[in-house]
Structure 1
Amino acid sequence: MRLFRKLITACACVAILLMATAVPANADATDFRKLDTLMNGAVRDSVFPGASLAVIYRGKTVFHKAFGHLTYDPHSAPADTTTIYDAASLTKAVVTTSIAMQLVERDSLDLRAPVSRYRPGFACNGKERITIEQLMRHTSGLRAHTYFAETCATREEALQAIDRDSVVSVPGAKTEYSDLNFILLGSIVEQITGKSLAANFHTRFAAPLTMNSTMFTPPLSLAARIAPTGEDGIWKLPRPRPLVNDQNAALLGGISGHAGLFTTTGDLTKMVKMLMNGGQLDGKRYIKASTVKRFRERGDTPRALGWDLVTPGGKSSAGHYFSSNSWGHLGFTGTSIWVDPEKDLAVILLSNRVWPTPENIRIRKFRPVLHDTVVECLEGR
């Protein structure tokens, strides 16, 4: 009897210990059927032919699935979580901004310095006082977009065209999203480091984070894994066109500060977790926490440094439930990252909505519904 009582006591202690260390029953038991239904419906409604979606919540990837196919042909390969997508303007935030964070904290790049410190030829036609910070916040006054391939044949000719261009608004007076800002930033990163943007990102982030499917100018050997984007019928140059959807990025050799990155949702979860965790992941620090915080601050503009922010009281692609402290970015090809630090939540969407034509803009209405649905699933709304 005494032995039996000891056994019961021991079992009770083990049970108490297990209860104390167990994960709450609902932590990994979120009902995502509503999200599945939404994504499958988006494929049926031709929002995109296929997509990969990852949800990070409280430090864990709690949802990671792919939907649809690589094209609208039902016989095309199904999309999966290893499908590689053209990230488009996510390049600005994931690549150029992350590298800029490291350069700023190591005093190689001065946010308050005029762009002309790094590109002397830029100081003309009202651009003399434009700063690096104004490029990053899209308050430079530069025009939003130019098809450089219509007048330029090389990367250097395109950069010189930006140097010679005039502003379309007073620098610092208003926010106007511009690819030209980050084309310049990419070239400045390369000038400071003496290495290409692709080499910088690979060495600083992709390799140590084991983002093995993330790169610029992917090789033909990966073609079967890459979701196609729209055909470019206006390429005028005699040399072969790089794979990237963005024509200016193609002119720049497929590597630019504004576009050109190819990646997967699995790889991006590592980068996003690192940024959510104050620049550190798995015991390795990539960026100082103070630097990450500095680059997320709104300041006097509606955008952070390299990242977009939720507009208070306005419509946002992040939906209705993401807090006003949320940060993220969109990509033209149908990609997005939105992070809510208050909810400790991130949603990463990669798609090729531009296949076969960029005229398909259904994703504009879909994005806020997607983010609302994710929150509703997690919070049981």
Structure 2
Amino acid sequence: MIMENVHDLMMQALAENVFPGGVLLVFREGSILFFEAYGYANIFSKRTMTRDTIFDLASVTKPLATTLAVMKLVEQGKLDIEQNLGSVLPQFLVPKPGLGNEKGQIKIKHLLGHNSGLPDHRPYYEHLREIRPDARRDRLKEFLLDEPLISPVGEKTVYSDLGFMILGWVIEHLSGTRLDRFVNETVFSPLGLETLFFVDVNRPRLGNFAATELCPWRNQVLEGLVHDDNCYSAGGIEGHAGLFATAGELCILLSELLKAFHSRFSACVFQRNILKAFFERGKDTERALGFDMPARQDASCGHYFSEQSVGHLGFTGTSFWIDLDRCISVILLTNRVHPSRDNVKIKAFRPKIHDAVMKVVVNSI
């Protein structure tokens, strides 16, 4: 399959400083059609990008760790997406001065669908970094309990890191173990995945990591430490960010999702009925439960993914898209925030590269 235009676009992106380096992987029905690495993993050391480079996935953590963990709890009968948050974490039922207990009425599906009424982001790290590391996660929970809603529950869609921080808390409460351990035991380990993991900031790992930002308050180029400020300050393992992976292992995970969705032979990690429920587009929204779906205008996945597609973006320059109808997946991992998050050229590049891929792959079917 000739993908010269795809290769040329990736080379052009390097020349135009869209990102210092990246890895692009395309697969269809279990066969890898394109898998190449480009540019630098670290511009200062001139370390080149390879197909085995490990990336900070940023918000891709939301679908591929937190949401999959929620699916496993649903499968185990420990959680129902129609449950109110207060029935799982009674702390949210306790009225707060001037707040009431509205957050206790948020349903799990509202957190997954980003219509809980919670705000998008809060710079909690500014406070967390000033206190003892062993007290930070408890303080983060206090912040989440105290955070007022910005709209009534279920009324408005606002993409929210806070909602997924709370989902991480829900998972840990119901599973009795840390988020990273639960998702590894129930999803990653059964699939033999070893380079799909969270990094505990107190126990950093060595590895072939793509560098991210020259962080102004951590005073270092981040490499193998989570870029997200709130996640880092809370220890590196949160529901909204913290997952690292190679493109190859993401390919294995997405392949299993596709197999289970289409009832084909798989490792039986996922149940089809649960996947189908989570992959259904919400009413009046461009989101499924925990996953994005193609926007009707200016979709980051371009013009050729079917409406029955799911994916997600990560702030660090990462993304994946799965066309469930055609069994095509595109994984684009870059270090576009290296050395600065001010580089936003990837927004215009994403639809171009996905269109170039799909023009070749769809025409070959």
Q: Is TM (by shorter chain) over 0.5?
A: yes
> Is 1:183–2:165 an aligned residue pair?
yes
1:65 aligns with one of 32, 36, 56:
36
1:92-139 CA-to-partner distances (Å, cap 9, x unmatched) read 000011111111122111211111122222234232311111000000
Amino acid at match of 1:52: V
1:241–1:194: structure 2 CA closer, same or farther, 3 Å change rule? farther
Distance, in Å, in 2 between the alignment partners of 1:301 and 1:234 is 40
**Residue of structure 2 equivalent to 1:318:** 301
User: Do the aligned residues in 2 keep the contact of 1:308 with 1:329 (CA within 8 Å)?
Assistant: yes
**Residue of structure 2 equivalent to 1:20:** none
> Is 1:200–2:182 an aligned residue pair?
yes
* Secondary structure class of the residue paired with 2:215: coil
User: 1:143-154 residue pairs with structure 2 within 5 A?
Assistant: 143-152=119-128, 153=131, 154=136
* Secondary structure class of the residue paired with 2:118: coil
Q: TM-score, normalised by structure 1?
A: 0.86
> Is 1:278–2:260 an aligned residue pair?
yes
* Secondary structure class of the residue paired with 2:26: strand
Amino acid at match of 1:305: L
User: Do the aligned residues in 1 keep the contact of 2:167 with 2:239 (CA within 8 Å)?
Assistant: yes
* Secondary structure class of the residue paired with 2:281: coil
Count of aligned pairs between the two proteins: 346
Shift of 1:72: 3.3
> Is 1:369–2:352 an aligned residue pair?
yes
> Is 1:352–2:322 an aligned residue pair?
no
> Is 1:79–2:49 an aligned residue pair?
yes
1:281–1:155: structure 2 CA closer, same or farther, 3 Å change rule? farther
1:111 aligns with one of 72, 77, 81:
81
**Residue of structure 2 equivalent to 1:244:** 226
- 296-305 vs 352-361, which moves further: 296-305
User: Do the aligned residues in 2 keep the contact of 1:243 with 1:250 (CA within 8 Å)?
Assistant: yes
Amino acid at match of 1:309: M
Distance, in Å, in 2 between the alignment partners of 1:255 and 1:142 is 21
> Is 1:92–2:76 an aligned residue pair?
no
Shift of 1:278: 1.8
Shift of 1:235: 5.0
- 53-62 vs 329-338, which moves further: 53-62
Cα RMSD between the aligned structures? 2.0
1:135 aligns with one of 98, 111, 122:
111
**Residue of structure 2 equivalent to 1:328:** 311
Distance, in Å, in 1 between the alignment partners of 2:89 and 2:29 is 43
**Residue of structure 2 equivalent to 1:48:** 19
* Secondary structure class of the residue paired with 1:215: strand
Distance, in Å, in 2 between the alignment partners of 1:353 and 1:245 is 12
Amino acid at match of 2:288: A
Shift of 1:208: 1.9
Q: TM-score, normalised by structure 2?
A: 0.90
Shift of 1:281: 7.7
Distance, in Å, in 2 between the alignment partners of 1:235 and 1:81 is 28
Distance, in Å, in 2 between the alignment partners of 1:329 and 1:181 is 16
Could you tell me the percent identity over the aligned residues? 35
User: Do the aligned residues in 2 keep the contact of 1:241 with 1:250 (CA within 8 Å)?
Assistant: no
2:206 aligns with one of 215, 222, 225:
222
Q: Which runs of 5+ in 2 are unaligned?
A: none
* Secondary structure class of the residue paired with 1:317: coil
* Secondary structure class of the residue paired with 1:309: coil
Distance, in Å, in 2 between the alignment partners of 1:105 and 1:210 is 21
Shift of 1:316: 0.5
Distance, in Å, in 2 between the alignment partners of 1:291 and 1:100 is 10
Distance, in Å, in 1 between the alignment partners of 2:223 and 2:121 is 20
**Residue of structure 2 equivalent to 1:12:** none
Amino acid at match of 2:52: T
1:69–1:300: structure 2 CA closer, same or farther, 3 Å change rule? same
